[in-house]
Structure 1
């Protein structure tokens, strides 16, 4: 991914994508039994977290049009630390990051989606900055 520029043509650290907006993260995971990519909203004020989630909902058709697929929308579920977070995500089940034979499938799953996220984010980020 390193040689691929972002939607503005600049170099970017794809694996540590910075949204520039506090408490909004783009997360990519590859574990022993799945891979996932998504938007995570982790604001400690649950009402603000829900407001961000609703704001993303206003852009749902645009997001899914850019991604070319529907995603799972989960409002305020506990993360691995017990903290309530909201997620908009897609999961690829039955792959193992420790198995090198699964790497092409994992990369093919994550790469186009993070690039699409970047395109989407450039269009909607101003609405989340204030």
Structure 2
């Protein structure tokens, strides 16, 4: 077992390693990007990645406090579902109404990788192989559709 501090240090070490691994990869726009802290440019719409002792996930999280705005963003993405799944080369799970870790309502589109442990460095290659192509695909998709969400505000 790890102490809370050791677990925190291992998580931080993983995300730092992932950031270094992704650093040479340009965004779809051709610009340099902070992959670990990806900025969509749209308030309350995020690309979220996380890993713990049991699994990992990557997804699009809509956290708008206005339920109508959150619904509008979700429905817009739902209309783009074929384009998103084509970019990702896989289908993801769609939840229009769920809650985040804090109990706040969100919409979430995501995929998971089970039976990996971010605290086990032997699992890091599997985690990187899971996150990297999906994050790059999300970036390519977002590059094509971001303007629509800017108009929705």
TM-score (norm 1): 0.98
Q: Distance in 1 between matches of 2:102 and 2:87?
A: 31
Q: Which residue of 1 aligns with 2:10?
A: none
What runs of 5+ residues in structure 2 fail to find an aligned partner?
1-21
Deviations 1:76-103 (A, max 9, x none): 2111101001000001011000001111
Q: Which residue of 1 aligns with 2:59?
A: 38
Moved over 3 A (4+): none
TM-score (norm 2): 0.84
Decide which structure has the larger Cα Rg and report it: 2
Does 1:72 find its partner at 2:93? yes
Secondary structure of residue in 2 paired with 1:57: helix
Secondary structure of residue in 2 paired with 1:13: coil
Q: CA RMSD in A?
A: 0.6
* CA shift for structure 1 position 8: 1.4
* CA shift for structure 1 position 9: 1.1
